[in-house]
Amino acid sequence: MRKVSIFGATGSIGQNTLDLIARTPEAYDVVALTGGRNVAQLAKDAQAVDADLAVTAFEDELQPLREALSGTGIEAAAGEAALIEAADRPADWVMSAIVGAAGLAPGFRALRRGLTLALANKESLVTAGPLLMAEAQAHDATILPVDSEHSAVFQALVGEDMDAVERIIITASGGALRDWPVERLAEATVEDAGAHPNWEMGQRITIDSASMFNKAMELIETKEFFGVRPDQIEAVIHPQSIIHALVGFADGALMAQLGPPDMRHAIGYALHYPDRRDLPVERLDLAELATLEFRAPCDTRYPALRIARGVMETGGHAGAVFTAAKEIALDGFLAGRIKFTQMAEVVEGTLDAISRDLRLHDAIETLETVLETDHLARVRAEEQVKDRQGHG
């Protein structure tokens, strides 16, 4: 029986993970589930899989969680320290699917036990990639990527020699505004940007998809996880989202991974790795699909990709600044304070402004430094939003 824990169990990735586990419950011993404010869902899921422990990230939710679990024998806990403690519990497979910087510490902690970490939390790699990879290596732990593009690259690399890898190409749907004239992008509303053509996801990630800040994060994730140079990584627009990524080798061969746009594929691959098992995902009918299209993303339409290249070249603190600034810019757009096209200006402005506070290219040495940089970048990004509010 496999001992598993799911961090961020109540979110989209967490729920999909539970969906897969529920299909063969006898194969899993669920140790811990964690969530945020949705304690009713957390308690219900913890009971369904008979977890040992349920943790909410927020201390004021402890009482409601306790009540929801009373009489079940399932332990309840709350707060950041409890999340870390949950990561210490002996699971041999842990899903890291908390959103944002809050997902870093539990993932790092879990790695110390030399287990398998299924990594959905993008921020871990983008803000602290070198630290995370070093931590995994030091404890002989395995990290399996859960982002669909990186899972695809990982699958295309099975049995291959990294020295023979020439390039890695990740695909992008292009998002909700991909066919809008560039001159009109400044007028795009939250509703316009929030309608994803293929994937069903939350509002924030869907808007990050329209701006390609999501793809920008994924370029950085690719560099950190696979250890390739920035100039070896490309993004290509592929409106159908059927090919998730391709790896190009020294002999000119391209290995692609195809699948329906369903996160349960990447999650299931990580869950059963190194085996391949039956997954409840749609099987592709290529003749029915008939056409797969590709086009180069244009930097004018998607400045986030250009900014990501700079971040990859700089390294050090740049990923943490980029991530934090992107979140503040997105908050600003959602609140109607800045325009769609000003999100990129805010991120670029923050990277520029913060280089007066710290040396961006200096290596990040501890998790605390990542969190300090995140905090400072949020302050600077907020100033950038304020500067633009009501202008432009």
Which of 4, 5, 10, 219 binds ligand NAD (CB under 6 A)? It is: 10
Site residues for ligand NAD, 50-89, by CB under 6 A, read 57
261 part of the interface to ligand NAD, by CB under 6 A: no
Q: Are strands 165-172 and 243-249 parallel, antiparallel or unpaired?
A: antiparallel
- Minimum CB–partner distance for residue 122 and Mg ion (Å): 8
52 part of the interface to Mg ion, by CB under 5 A: no
12 part of the interface to ligand NAD, by CB under 6 A: yes
99 part of the interface to ligand NAD, by CB under 6 A: yes
13 part of the interface to ligand NAD, by CB under 6 A: yes
- Minimum CB–partner distance for residue 98 and ligand NAD (Å): 4
- Minimum CB–partner distance for residue 233 and ligand NAD (Å): 17
In sequence order, what DSSP letters do the residues of 220-237 get, joined into one string?
A: HHHHHHH---GGGEEEEE
Cβ proximity to ligand NAD: between 265 and 339 the closer is 265
Cβ proximity to ligand NAD: between 15 and 72 the closer is 15
Q: If DSSP codes are grouped into helix, strand and coil, which group holds residue 158?
A: coil
In the numeric block, which tokens belong to residue 212?
Answer: 């390609």
8 part of the interface to ligand NAD, by CB under 6 A: yes
In the numeric block, which tokens belong to residue 125?
Answer: 């790699």
Question: Which residue of this chain has its Cβ atom nearest to ligand NAD in the complex?
Answer: 11
Strand partners, 319: none
- Minimum CB–partner distance for residue 251 and ligand NAD (Å): 31
127 binds, among ligand NAD, Mg ion, none (CB under 5 to 8 A by kind): none
List, in order, residues 6 or more apart from 140 with CB less than 8 Å away. Answer: 114
The position carrying tokens 């304020």 is: 386
121 part of the interface to ligand NAD, by CB under 6 A: yes
98 part of the interface to ligand NAD, by CB under 6 A: yes
202 part of the interface to ligand NAD, by CB under 6 A: yes
In the numeric block, which tokens belong to residue 311?
Answer: 């971040």
User: x-or-dash pattern for Mg ion, window 134-173, by CB under 5 A?
Assistant: -------------xxx------------------------
Contact indicator for 20, 267 with CB cutoff of 8 Å: yes
Which strands make up the sheet holding 142-145, listed edge to edge? 75-78, 53-56, 28-35, 2-7, 93-96, 116-119, 142-145
Contact indicator for 344, 299 with CB cutoff of 8 Å: no
147 part of the interface to ligand NAD, by CB under 6 A: yes
The position carrying tokens 């991120």 is: 347
227 part of the interface to ligand NAD, by CB under 6 A: no
- Minimum CB–partner distance for residue 341 and ligand NAD (Å): 22
Give the CA distances from residue 91 to residues 4, 28, 124, 202, in Å, rounded to whole numbers and listed in that order.
5, 10, 20, 28
Question: What's the CA gap between 199 and 175, in Å, rounded?
Answer: 10
